[in-house]
Homo-oligomer: A and B are copies of this chain.
Amino acid sequence: MYVYEYGDEILIVDCGMGFPEDDMHGVDILLPDVSYIQKRIQQGAQIAGLVLTHAHDDHIAALPYILPMLTQDFPLYGSPLTAAFAVARMEDMKVHREVLTYPAGRLQLGSFSIETIPVTHSVPDARHLVIRTPAGIVYHGSDFKLDMHPIDGKRTDLQAIARVGQEGILCALLDCLRVERDNWSPSESSVRDNLVREFRDVQGKILVTLMSSNIHRIQQVIDTAVEFGRKVVFVGRSVENNVNVAGELGMLKIPKQTIINKKYINDTADEKLCVVIAGSQGQPGSSLVRAVSGEHPIISITPKKDRVVFASEPIPGNESNVYWAVDTLARNGVEVKYSDVDEGLHVSGHASKIEQQVMISLLGAKYLFPIGGTDRHRVLFGKVAQSMGYAESNVLLPKSGQVMITDGARIIPGETLNLREIIVDGLGVGDVGNIVLAERKQMADEGMLVVVLPSLGAHFDASEIHLVSRGFVFMRESEELMDDLRLLIAETISNARKERKSDEIVRLIEKKVGEFCYKRLQRRPLVVVEGV
């Protein structure tokens, strides 16, 4: 989420969800922290509108969570496909809100005048935003590539970008994710020949899995299936929903009688079927994973006959899930094709360094602001810009939450907001914080030991101390350890009882038990003492 302010007017760009780091155990998704916007609303600011750049979840999927937190009425805008995907995402969570489509020409939202420029990306109908303000023009260059042969024929409008550049841009934000790559990103249409090769000589079904928002790749699979005389079946909630939405907008061209409802899949011979199935990241519970495990109610995969094609690449962090699926298929005798054995089955949706340099040249912005990558990408983008003549001070590398201020001529850093991504875990939004995550991490790595003490008033025997291990040691095989711990705890209590308060005794027991376990096993279980 990006926030632009002019006076008391706020323009929000995108509202996406994030994914947890490896050590954020049990966290489902992350949401942007909107506390600053909430504070500004209380101070009298008005949200002029929320505009969306494209239909990927990291740009739209926080909407159903965040909109109810912003207690103001304001319009939402997106391109036709982005608007439709955003509405579907909200309806999933029973949030009913209209998303308008960008008008032809400029969209005036308060002091912000917004022109959108169609760009190519791995989801159709993506836009860059030209945001004209009284303080100058900002070019909001979200995720893009410069695909010269997009499936819908709609190339990124370089003429329009050059025209805006000639007007004079104060600051251009630009997708820097693939700045490490030198070569121009291959066109989406280059995938077709590789799909064709995979469709040859398959005795049974062809199952293709891919990112469900990649409507153009789905189009290419459909076209290839038609070429080979196969019918197409869509399987998996995300694929089915996205195909419906894109189909209604006329963004998928499907010849009549090509599609078979998955319920009637058995009416067609396997060698006449192409199954487009969700789960290309090996997500647990996805249609593909259930089919691979033999647990899908409709889709079975036949060894030595069917072929599974991953027209996708593992997103960093998903490797073990994806390779679990590939290994399982291979072990079961199913032919499986994936990016390590055939790179041509996937192309990136992001501009490489040379495409970014073309954009930098056309925009001629005074300031550049790399977005969409991690720090190593942003720093490298800065070096690329410097190699093209930019001063170091004219490449902005603010931290998340860092406010940037302009008087129309210069851009300088303002305050740094103390922002924390909001954690979603199950139905809880924001109730899991750092303390709970730290407890989960300790219990994951070291386990837990619960100590239940008898009443301390009376004399008691060590055997009355209850110990419960979970994830620390296997109780039934650790009786000696447990006996030693009971004696240690009893001794600790009788030494400390007279002089100390009960909460001090609890802390002392936690400390002694922790030290003992570490000395004995080099493990530090979370210790909970109760009953004092």
Contact among B375, B426, B439, B445 for A328, CB-based, below 8 A = B375
Known contacts being A428-B521, A528-B450, A530-B530, is A375 close to B439, with CB within 8 Å? no
Cβ B426 vs Cβ A522 within 8 A:
yes
Cβ B448 vs Cβ A443 within 8 A:
yes
Cβ A316 vs Cβ B319 within 8 A:
yes
Which chain B residues border A458 with CB–CB below 8 Å? none
Cβ B450 vs Cβ A26 within 8 A:
no
- Quick one: closest B residue to A378, CB to CB? B330
Q: Tell whether A265 is near chain B: CB-to-CB under 8 Å.
A: no
Interface centre among A336, A375, A443 (most CB of B within 10 A): A443
Q: Tell whether A433 is near chain B: CB-to-CB under 8 Å.
A: yes
Known contacts being A522-B426, A528-B450, is A436 close to B375, with CB within 8 Å? no
Cβ B474 vs Cβ A433 within 8 A:
yes
The CA-CA distance from A445 to B21 in the complex, in Å, is 13
- Quick one: closest B residue to A340, CB to CB? B180
Task: Please give the distance in Å from A24's CB to the nearest CB on chain B.
Answer: 10
Interface residues as binary, A442-485 with B (CB distance below 8 Å gives 1, 0 otherwise): 01111110101000000000000010101111100110000000
Q: Tell whether A331 is near chain B: CB-to-CB under 8 Å.
A: yes
Interface centre among A378, A380, A440 (most CB of B within 10 A): A440
The CA-CA distance from A443 to B447 in the complex, in Å, is 8
Which residues of chain A in 364-418 are interfacial with respect to chain B, using CB atoms and an 8 Å cutoff? Answer: 374-376, 378-380
Which chain B residues border A452 with CB–CB below 8 Å? 452, 530-531
Known contacts being A26-B446, A436-B447, A530-B450, is A341 close to B426, with CB within 8 Å? no
The CA-CA distance from A320 to B22 in the complex, in Å, is 8
Contact among B21, B376, B447, B468 for A528, CB-based, below 8 A = B468
Cβ A375 vs Cβ B443 within 8 A:
no
Cβ A445 vs Cβ B26 within 8 A:
yes
Interface residues as binary, A98-114 with B (CB distance below 8 Å gives 1, 0 otherwise): 00000000000000000
Q: Tell whether A435 is near chain B: CB-to-CB under 8 Å.
A: yes
Cβ A25 vs Cβ B523 within 8 A:
no
Task: Please give the distance in Å from A282's CB to the nearest CB on chain B.
Answer: 12
The CA-CA distance from A431 to B436 in the complex, in Å, is 27
Q: Tell whether A6 is near chain B: CB-to-CB under 8 Å.
A: no
Cβ A440 vs Cβ B436 within 8 A:
no
Which chain B residues border A285 with CB–CB below 8 Å? none
Which chain B residues border A448 with CB–CB below 8 Å? 443, 448, 470
Task: Please give the distance in Å from A438's CB to the nearest CB on chain B.
Answer: 8
Cβ A379 vs Cβ B330 within 8 A:
yes
- Quick one: closest B residue to A333, CB to CB? B379
Count this chain's copies in the assembly: 2
Q: Tell whether A421 is near chain B: CB-to-CB under 8 Å.
A: no
Total residues of chain A contacting the partner, CB 8 A: 65
Task: Please give the distance in Å from A27's CB to the nearest CB on chain B.
Answer: 9
Q: Tell whether A432 is near chain B: CB-to-CB under 8 Å.
A: yes
**Chain A contact residues: helix, strand, loop or mixed:** mixed
Q: Tell whether A326 is near chain B: CB-to-CB under 8 Å.
A: yes
Task: Please give the distance in Å from A138's CB to the nearest CB on chain B.
Answer: 24
Cβ B323 vs Cβ A472 within 8 A:
no
Q: Tell whether A58 is near chain B: CB-to-CB under 8 Å.
A: no
Cβ B341 vs Cβ A444 within 8 A:
no
Which chain B residues border A450 with CB–CB below 8 Å? 450, 468, 528, 530
Which chain B residues border A319 with CB–CB below 8 Å? 316-317, 319
- Quick one: closest B residue to A425, CB to CB? B523
Contact among B436, B466, B478 for A474, CB-based, below 8 A = B436
Task: Please give the distance in Å from A450's CB to the nearest CB on chain B.
Answer: 5
- Quick one: closest B residue to A468, CB to CB? B528
Cβ B331 vs Cβ A478 within 8 A:
no
Which chain B residues border A426 with CB–CB below 8 Å? 518, 521-523
Cβ A530 vs Cβ B466 within 8 A:
yes
Which chain B residues border A26 with CB–CB below 8 Å? 444-447, 471, 523
- Quick one: closest B residue to A178, CB to CB? B340
Q: Tell whether A327 is near chain B: CB-to-CB under 8 Å.
A: yes
Contact among B327, B437, B446 for A374, CB-based, below 8 A = B327
Task: Please give the distance in Å from A320's CB to the nearest CB on chain B.
Answer: 5
- Quick one: closest B residue to A445, CB to CB? B26
Which chain B residues border A376 with CB–CB below 8 Å? 323, 326-327, 329-330, 336
- Quick one: closest B residue to A524, CB to CB? B426
The CA-CA distance from A328 to B375 in the complex, in Å, is 7
Q: Tell whether A520 is near chain B: CB-to-CB under 8 Å.
A: yes
Cβ B323 vs Cβ A435 within 8 A:
no
What are 18 pairs between A and B in contact, CB < 8 Å? A21-B320, A22-B22, A26-B444, A180-B340, A316-B319, A316-B323, A327-B375, A331-B375, A331-B379, A427-B522, A428-B521, A431-B474, A439-B447, A443-B470, A443-B471, A470-B526, A470-B528, A530-B530
The 9 A-B pairs with the shortest beta carbon distances in the complex, nearest first, are A426-B522, A444-B444, A440-B471, A439-B471, A443-B443, A330-B379, A25-B444, A26-B445, A330-B376
